Amino acid sequence: MKPLSPARYAHRRPRSRGGGLGLFAAATALVMGGSALALTGSGADDAAPVSAEGSTEVPVGSGGYTTVLPEGRSGPSDLDGAPVSPKVTDDFEGPAPTNEWWSSLIFQRYSDNPYGENLFAHPLNFLPHSGGLDMGHSDTPTLVGDDLKYEYTAASDLTLGVTGLDSPDTRTADHGDWTVTAHWEGGGPTLRVTLGQGLPFAYAETSGADARVTFDGAPEVWHEDGSTVGVTVNGRHYALFSPSDAPWTLEGDTLTASTGDEGYYSAALLPSPDDLDRFAPYAHSFVTGSVVEYDYDESAATLTSTYRLETEAREGEETGTLMALYPHQWENATGDLTDLTYASPRGEMRVSEGASFTTELTTQGIMPSLPTVDEADHDRMAALIDEVLAEEELFPEPGDTYWDGKAMGRLAQLVPIADSIGRTEARDELLGLVKGRLEDWLTVGGARQFHHDAEWGAMLGFPDSFGAATELNDHDFHYGYFVSAAAMVARYDAEWADEDAWGGMIRLLIEDVAGTDPDSEMFPRLRSFSPYAGHGWASGHAGFASGNNQESSSEGMHFAAATAHFGALTGDEELRDLGVYLHTTQASTVARYWQNQGGGTFPEEYPEDVVGMVWGDGGDYRIWWDGGHEEHYGINYLPITAGSLYLGHDPEHAGAVYDSLVDKIGGEPDVWRDIHWAHRALSDGDDALRMFEEQWDTYEPEAGGSVPHTYQWVSTLAAFGTVDVSVTADTAHYAVFDKEGERTYTAFNPASEALTVTFSDGTSLEVPARQVAVTN
């Protein structure tokens, strides 16, 4: 098993997006309102580059980065533009994590709030302040923003504290893969509370004064037995547990217990008062850490993930606990679950008993490109590629990490298409353009370069955009384009991607986004991926009353696919497996949480069929700019690459989502037509090809797409049909399609020697080195 211990708030799209005032204003209002192998780094961290004494430039192979912020640039900052440092305790260890559900604890976005915003751990929510931590649970959704957003608004039922606590701030003391320990100190006493996603408990440690729990209103006490008190407040049920030698005393709406200098207590959310006896055995089994482990079995096309809590018995010998699983977890869990449940913004959570649980997912394969079919007009495709190469501005302004990334990705996607139709000159010209721009970025000291911020453990690319540097937003979205472009170069020029050539810098970008080395001094682990949530969080600081958010789930998937390809093409199996883990896990959440697949996520009264963004407290149809309906849907499709086939794993669902858009706009898509044609091809390739053929010489592609790429995509899927997930293969890079009962099998071989791929239905396919092969 491979341990993986330890969004943004503005997106991108139209280059002049007018500030996205609709959702931005709403969000601002919300804020003001309230194989048994230890996985190490993929190479870069194991021997982190060290600059010469006095030098500000660190060479990495043929490239490098700077350790000093380039002149005129800004690093992580608060809303007023002042630099910010990680808000941690003296005993905090390792680089500072960001892009977490709890990041407002560590990244102070607002100068007048040193505590943090609402923290949505599910099933509980929390709010830190000078006197401790408010704790609550919302079990009823509310529609807001003209019914465009559903949310389980943060509730405050009780406050965890210590008598006399008056802390000037809240700091981060420790963290795990999905847990965090917050620290308060002021007025004499100190308080530390550990909380986490899926935990129905919060675990408090006290010193300097008595434990103190204050209720939001008069509590209904239905159990009082010394160190165990059961109460109902605001209609919700809680149990409070103190040490057996420090019983609770209730006066009015406040509980106190003489816990002493090394004291502790815990609080638990109960589904029902009748469940007290099921929680009591774990009252003193304190969670001290969390880690997810995975194992990718390539031959069996299976990803096994184990979610494990580290616990310590503060009294007695019990070291187990209870964990509430999200739907994408409990539906794929291998063990038994209890009958305990909670409501959450992701649907019903079901409870597992014990300090770990395991899930098992089928890996459906991640292709780097699709084959070009004979049915396509190869001459027209060649002419369309030539038209792209003849464009005056292949890397348009503003030329920052996002827009340049999209430009490189657009050109890189054309390389295998040109190769497949024998246009080797165009292929090599495209490769040269992509190489040149990548090398420009990966070389220190130029107009485009990378800087390592040691304080935050982050690679910052300049020029940046959308808060990638100042807020640490969107790193997976931006850097995914760099990694995918580099993987395409590696496919045709292996030496270019060597560690001592340009591959070293690419690996640093991967480490920034999804570093896994537990001892890394350069990067936190899994910055842009939340293992328990099963997807990323885009905001570096999470400074919102609604928690953190994730808009473009598809760009998070793009990074995952790119990582798998780069690892495979450079012979790094661990890096490939990391990409497979990220891609497979997120694929189990995207359709469910962004598109309500299966119907268990969105409230029944919510009128939309998709959300543009998932928030900590719910989901919102709106996006980070004033876009139309096509953009609200399409933001979670782009960029279209062969790694996007997961969007069609359920062709019927994909078709229903497309029909939903057509119904909403009253006809076929007009904005981002190529994105929606590509998505339509996943449920009806013939219809997608029809729309393309009717408009191919008049439409304007989305900035990251091109006419020849869309043509290849829709023509191939028109010929192959829809994705068939009933058949798997013994390689990480395959896809199976079905059209009217006839299957087409395709696979990619990243190795330097020929490979025989065997599919689960007995079909075999010989795949030449570094090529895509097809059979049916």
Q: Which of 643, 636, 649, 634 is nearest to 724 (CA)?
A: 649
- Quote the CA–CA distance of 263 and 208 in Å, as a whole number: 9
Catalytic residue ranges:
474, 551, 555
Which H/E stretch holds residue 415?
helix 415-420
| Alpha-carbon span 183 to 307, nearest angstrom | 25
What is residue 10's predicted lDDT score, i.e. its pLDDT? 32
Q: Let me know if residue 760 belongs to a domain.
A: yes
Residue type, 440: D
Residues 704 and 701: their CA atoms lie apart, in Å, by: 8
Q: Give the per-residue pLDDT at 22.
A: 33
Residue type, 156: S
Q: Is the pLDDT of residue 6 over 60?
A: no
Q: Cα(195)–Cα(200) distance, rounded to whole angstroms? A: 9
Residues 399-432 pLDDT 10s: 999 999 999 999 999 999 999 999 999 999 999 9
Nearest partner of 681 among 637, 746, 725, judged by Cα: 637
Q: Give the span between the Cα atoms of 377 and 254, in whole angstroms.
A: 76
The pLDDT value given to residue 364: 97
Separation of alpha carbons 637 and 676, rounded Å: 8
Domain residues for 759? 724-776
Output the pLDDT for position 518: 82
DSSP secondary structure letter of residue 501: I
Is 538 in contact with 511 (CB distance < 8 Å)?
no
Average pLDDT over residues 605-617: 98
pLDDT at 176: 97
* pLDDT for the residue numbered 99: 98
Mean pLDDT estimate for the chain: 93
235 contact partners, CB below 8 Å, separation of at least 6: none
Residues in Cβ contact with 427 at an 8 Å cutoff, skipping those fewer than 6 apart: 415, 418, 419, 492
Q: Sign of the C-alpha dihedral, residues 231, 236, 237, 242? A: negative
Amino acid at 253: D
pLDDT tens digits, residue range 562-588? 999 999 999 999 999 999 999 999 999
Q: How far apart are the first and last CA of the chain?
A: 36
Mean pLDDT of 9-20: 30
Rounded percentage of the chain residues whose pLDDT exceeds 90: 92
For residue 418, tell me if it sits in a domain: no
Statement: residue 33 has pLDDT above 80: no
Q: Do 734 and 745 touch, CB atoms closer than 8 A?
A: yes
745 lies in some domain = yes
DSSP string, 546-606: T--EE--HHHHHHHHHHHHHHHHHTT-HHHHHHHHHHHHHHHHHHHHHHH-GGG-SS-TT-
The CB-side HSE value for 337 (13 A sphere, CA atoms) comes to: 19
CA nearest to 445, candidates 34, 66, 49: 66
For residue 501, tell me if it sits in a domain: no
Helix (H) or strand (E) holding 151: strand 149-151
Helix, strand or coil, per DSSP, at residue 632: helix
Q: What is the pLDDT of residues 37-55, one digit of tens each?
A: 233 333 333 334 444 455 6
Q: Which are the contacts of 548, defined by CB distance < 8 A and separation ≥ 6?
A: 7, 99, 100, 101, 103, 120, 537, 538, 539, 542, 615, 616
User: So what's the pLDDT on residue 54?
Assistant: 53
- Is pLDDT at 88 greater than 60 in this prediction? yes
For residue 385, tell me if it sits in a domain: no
Residue 759 lies in a domain: yes
Which candidate, 162, 101, 96, places its Cα nearest to that of 126?
101
What is the tens place of the pLDDT at every residue in 423-469? 999 999 999 999 999 999 999 999 999 999 999 999 999 999 999 99
pLDDT of residue 55: 67
Residue 736 lies in a domain: yes
- Number of domains present in the structure of the chain: 1
**Token pair in block for residue 607:** 């009128």
Structure confidence by residue, pLDDT tens digits, 222-259: 999 999 999 999 999 999 999 999 999 999 999 999 99
Is the confidence at residue 57, as pLDDT, over 60?
Answer: yes
Tell me, letter by letter, the H, E, C secondary structure of 636-685: CCCCCCHHHHHHHCCHHHHHHHHHHHHHHHCCCCCCCHHHHHHHHHCCCH
* pTM for this predicted structure: 0.94
- Among 31-35, 55-59, 265-269, 764-768, the least confident range: 31-35
